[in-house]
Amino acid sequence: MTTLTGPARPDALPAPGPAAPERILMKGNEALAEAAIQAGCDAYFGYPITPQAELLEWMARRMPELGRAFVQAESELGAINMGLGAAATGARVLVSTSSPGFSLMAEAMSYLAGSEIPLVLVNVMRGGPGLGSIGPAQADYLQAVKGHGHGDYRVPVLAPTSIDEAMELMADGFELGEQYRTPVIILLDGILGQAIEPVTGRFRNPERRPGDWEISGADGRPPRVVKSLHLQPEALEAHNLHLQAKFARIAEREVRWAGEALEDAEVVIVAYGTAARVARTAVAQARAAGLRVGLFRPITLWPFPEKELRALAGRVRGLLVVELSAGQLVEDVRLAVEGGTTVLHHGRTGGMVPSPAEVVTALRHLWSVTTPRGGSLAGASLEAEADPFSLVEAGMWAAAGHPLPEPPAGEPGEPDPLSLVDDADWIHFRETCRERDQGPGHGSDRAHDAFHQPVGPRPAGGTLR
Amino acid sequence: MTTETSTRPDGSTTATAELEATATPTPRRIAGRPELLLERSTSYCPGCGHGVIHRLIAEVLGELGLGPRTIAVAPVGCAVFAYDYLGLDFVEAPHGRAPAVATGIRRVRPDAFVLTYQGDGDLAAIGTAEIVHAAGRGEAITAVFVNNGIYGMTGGQMAPTTLLGQRTTSTPLGRDRRLHGAPLPMTEMLAVLPGVAYAARGSVADPAAIGRTKAMLRRACEVQLAGSGFALVEVLSNCPVGWGMTPSESIRRLAEAVPVTYPPGVMKDVDKGIGVPAATRPEEG
| DSSP per-residue letters across A331-397 | HHHHHHHTTSSEEEEEE--TT----HHHHHHHHHHHHHT--TTT--STT--TTTS--TT-HHHHHHH
- The pLDDT value recorded for residue A452 is 64
Give residue B26's pLDDT.
82
Beta bridge partners of B199: B232, B268
* A45 CB-near residues (< 8 Å, 6+ apart): A69, A70, A71, A73, A78, A79, A80, A82, A83, A86, A93, A95, B104
Residues of chain A with pLDDT under 50: 1-21, 374-397, 404-423, 426, 433, 436-437, 439-443, 454-465
Helix axes A99-115, A76-88, angle to 10 degrees: 30
Q: How high is the pLDDT of residue A427?
A: 53
Tell me the torsion sign for CA atoms A180, A99, A145, A324: positive
Give the pLDDT of residue A465.
Answer: 34
Q: Does B110 touch chain A (CB under 8 A)?
A: yes
Q: Give how far B80 is from chain A: nearest CA, Å.
A: 9
Task: For residue A32, give every residue at least 6 positions away whose Cβ sits within 8 Å of its Cβ, in sequence order, or none.
Answer: A55, A96, A122, A163, A166, A167, A170, A186, A193
Query: At A282, which helix (H) or strand (E)?
Result: helix A273-288
The separation between the first and the last C-alpha atoms of chain B, rounded to the nearest angstrom, is: 43
Using omega within 30 degrees of 0 as the cis cutoff, is the peptide bond preceding A48 cis? no
- A176 vs B279, higher pLDDT: A176
Q: Of B86, B107, B130, which is closest to A86 when you measure between CB atoms? A: B107
Q: pLDDT value at position A458?
A: 42
Using a CB-CB cut-off of 8 Å, the residues of chain A touching B74 are 227
Give the range among A5-19, A352-366, B49-63, B248-262 with minimum mean pLDDT. Answer: A5-19
Q: Which residues are CB-contacts of A119 (< 8 A; sequence separation ≥ 6)?
A: A80, A83, A84, A87, A93, A94, A95, A112, A177, A183, A184
The answer to whether A278 and A297 are in contact (CB under 8 A) is: no
Q: Does A106 touch chain B (CB under 8 A)?
A: no
Tally of CA atoms within 13 A in the half-sphere of B245 that contains its CB: 17
In this predicted structure, what is the pLDDT of residue A133? 95
| Closest-CA distance of chain B to residue A316, Å | 48
Q: How far is A284 from A68, CA to CA, in rounded Å?
A: 45
Check: CB of residue B120 under 8 Å from CB of residue B148.
Answer: yes
Axis crossing angle, helix B128-136 with helix A76-88, rounded to the nearest 10: 70
pLDDT score recorded for residue A376? 43
pLDDT tens digit sequence for B119-137: 999 999 999 999 999 999 9
Percent of chain B at pLDDT > 90 equals 85
Q: How many separate helices (H) and strands (E) can be counted in chain B? A: 12, 9
Interface test with B, best of A81, A115, A463 (most B CBs within 10 A): A81
CB atoms within 10 A of CB A362: 28
Q: Calculate the CA B33 to chain-centre distance.
A: 19
d(CA A194, CA A50): 10
The pLDDT of residue B197 is above 50: yes
CA distance A220 to chain B (A): 7
Q: How far is B74 from chain A (nearest CA, A)?
A: 9
Taken in order B53, B59, B65, B68, is the CA torsion positive or negative? positive
Name the β-bridge partners of A197: A26
Are B133 and A88 in contact (CB < 8 Å)? no
Would you state the pLDDT for residue B30? 82
pLDDT category at B29 given cuts 50, 70, 90 is: confident
pLDDT band at B282 (very low <50, low <70, confident <90, very high): low
Contacts of A212 in chain B (CB under 8 A): none
Report the pLDDT value the prediction gives residue A460, as an integer from 0 to 100. Answer: 45
| Residue A410 confidence (pLDDT) | 44
Comparing CB atoms, the residue among A69, A75, A88 nearest residue B129 is A75
Give the gap in angstroms from C-alpha A70 to the nearest C-alpha of chain B.
8
Contact criterion met (CB < 8 Å) for A86 and B93:
no
Q: A-B interface: how many C-beta pairs under 8 angstroms?
A: 144
**Interface contact B17, partner A, CB < 8 A:** no
| Rg value, chain A, Cα | 23
- Give the distance between the most distant pair of CA atoms in chain A: 76
Contact A85 B132 (CB under 8 A): no
- Residue A19 pLDDT: 44
Q: Which of A67, A121, A82 is nearest to A99 (CA)?
A: A121
User: What was the pLDDT predicted at A419?
Assistant: 42
Residues 6 or more apart in contact with residue A458 via CB below 8 angstroms: A67
Q: Which residues of chain B lie closer than 8 angstroms to A216, CB-CB? A: 71, 89, 109, 112
Average pLDDT score over residue span B219-226: 98
Cα separation, A191 vs A17, in Å, equals 23
**What is the C-alpha to C-alpha distance for residues B195 and B231, in angstroms, rounded to an integer?**
9
**pLDDT score, position A147:** 85
Q: Are A196 and A25 in contact (CB under 8 A)?
A: yes
Q: Which amino acid is at B195?
A: G
ipTM value: 0.88
pLDDT higher than threshold 70 for residue B216? yes
A215 touches chain B (CB under 8 A): yes
B87 vs A462: CB contact, 8 Å cut-off? no
Determine the pLDDT at residue B21.
54
**Separation of alpha carbons B5 and B8, rounded Å:** 9
CA atoms within 13 A on the CB side of A81: 30
